[in-house]
Amino acid sequence: MNHSDITASNQHELSILASEKRYKSLFDFMHDACVILEFNVEQNQYIIVEVNQAFEEIEGLSREKVLNKQLLQLFPSIEKSGLIAIINEVHHDGKKRHHKTFIYENEIVKRVHHNVLFNIDEDKIVIIYNDITSKYITNELLKKSEEKYRSLVENIHEALIVEDVNGKLVYVNDRFCKMFGYNENELKLLTLKDYTAPEWHEQILERHFARMNGKEVSTNFEYEGLRKDGTKIWIEARVNTLVEAGVIPGTLSLEKDISERKAADAELKEYRESLEKMVNERTKELETKNMELESFNNLFIGREFRIKELRDQVKDLENQLAEYMM
């Protein structure tokens, strides 16, 4: 091999290395989980040969703990979901497939994944998936109740809000749009922070994620909402945790604008404080007058007592003088 052949070979290797680095960077920074499988003929099993960071976060398993492990050994429940059959099909014919996988635990659906499967060579299969549990269950709930309750939902005087585990809006009724000033096309981009006053963000998020973790949170509360135009409104909310098949997919809230009531309460409070201040001032004034009257009475009584005393002394002197004259 001459020098030019070696140079070309090195350049090719460097090009492959650079490509692998770009691939690895893209692989690790994907938002969806990704796992690469390789079929082991001797074991007659699919072996995990690579995973990305999103996989580690979603599954709670480190890369070191899953590499070179059998897929079914780590995730035995997926056999019931039908995913293995889809993997076999992709392995045999090489065609890309989509599959909705239901992950069971104790005969209860715990998670729902949307999978995209394809192969990258004869023995390696790539599975890219995201967790659609909240979206799936919420959609199912809405489908079940749509015909029966749609008319009621759209005509109630309260805003109805369905949010997923991350606080993203899944469904709202027309009353919500009127209350907060958004149109239907803008709703899919909104989260609960978008219609909450900034100073309430921390408390609202804390309440929401506490619910998603199965903790008890009071159903009724009040907070300041934020309209699209930036104005604030007081909201009375009743929030319930959605539970379907043992999974918490989000929350359902009924909310109403109580700004007028809050303004009236503030005005009444101000009036009461003003009245209380006036009463206190009048009471203090009356106490002062009473003290002055008491002081005057004491002075008057003391004066009357002194006059009587002087009269008695005069009378004694008159008696003494009469005796002397006799």
Residue-wise pLDDT tens digits, 294-306: 776 666 666 666 6
Residue 251 is assigned to a structural domain of this protein = yes
User: Residue 201's domain spans which residues?
Assistant: 136-257
Given a contact cutoff of 8 angstroms between Cβ atoms, the answer to whether 309 and 303 are in contact is no
In this prediction, residue 168 carries a pLDDT of 87
Distance from C-alpha of 27 to C-alpha of 263, rounded to nearest angstrom: 54
Are 202 and 243 contained in the same domain?
Answer: yes
Q: Which residues pair with 35 in a beta bridge?
A: 51, 127
| Closest C-alpha among 218, 226, 172, 220 to residue 194 | 226
CATH number at residue 126: 3.30.450.20
In this prediction, residue 98 carries a pLDDT of 92
Q: Is the pLDDT of residue 244 over 70?
A: no
Given a contact cutoff of 8 angstroms between Cβ atoms, the answer to whether 211 and 178 are in contact is no
Question: Span 182-186, mean pLDDT?
Answer: 85
State the pairing for strand pair 159-164/45-51.
unpaired
HSE of 174 in the Cβ direction (CA atoms, 13 Å)?
A: 8
Distance from C-alpha of 138 to C-alpha of 114, rounded to nearest angstrom: 15
Q: At which of 81, 106, 131 does a domain end? A: 131
Q: Is the pLDDT of residue 5 over 50?
A: no
Are 140 and 250 contained in the same domain?
Answer: yes
Q: At which of 229, 257, 285 does a domain end? A: 257
The pTM for the full model equals 0.46
Are 279 and 166 contained in the same domain?
Answer: no
Percent helix, strand, coil in the chain (nearest 5)?
55, 25, 20
Answer positive or negative: Cα dihedral of 78, 80, 86, 92. Answer: positive
Task: Work out how many domains the chain is built from and give that number.
Answer: 4
Residue 265 is assigned to a structural domain of this protein = no
Q: At which of 116, 131, 146 does a domain end? A: 131
Could you report the per-residue pLDDT of 19-61, keeping only the tens digit for each? Answer: 455 556 667 677 788 899 999 888 899 999 999 888 888 888 9
Given a contact cutoff of 8 angstroms between Cβ atoms, the answer to whether 233 and 259 are in contact is yes
Are 154 and 196 contained in the same domain?
Answer: yes
Distance from C-alpha of 232 to C-alpha of 259, rounded to nearest angstrom: 9
Are 118 and 151 contained in the same domain?
Answer: no
Q: Is the pLDDT of residue 6 over 50?
A: no
* DSSP code, position 158: S
**Cα dihedral 134→140→141→142 (10° resolution):** 110
Could you report the per-residue pLDDT of 95-137, keeping only the tens digit for each? Answer: 999 998 887 776 666 778 889 999 887 778 999 998 777 667 6
Given a contact cutoff of 8 angstroms between Cβ atoms, the answer to whether 75 and 48 are in contact is no
- Is residue 44 helix, strand or coil? coil
Q: How far is CA 235 from the centre of its chain?
A: 15
Are 242 and 282 contained in the same domain?
Answer: no
Among 189-203, 223-237, 252-266, the least confident range:
252-266
Q: What is the DSSP string of 197-208?
A: -GGGHHHHHHHH
Strands (E), 120-273: 124-131, 159-164, 169-172, 220-226, 232-244, 247-257
Could you report the per-residue pLDDT of 125-178, keeping only the tens digit for each? Answer: 999 998 777 667 666 666 665 555 555 566 567 888 888 888 888 888 888 999
Residue 262 is assigned to a structural domain of this protein = no
- Is residue 165 helix, strand or coil? coil
Are 43 and 125 contained in the same domain?
Answer: yes
Are 26 and 36 contained in the same domain?
Answer: no
CB atoms within 10 A of CB 178: 11
Residue 321 is assigned to a structural domain of this protein = yes
Tokens of 93: 């014919």
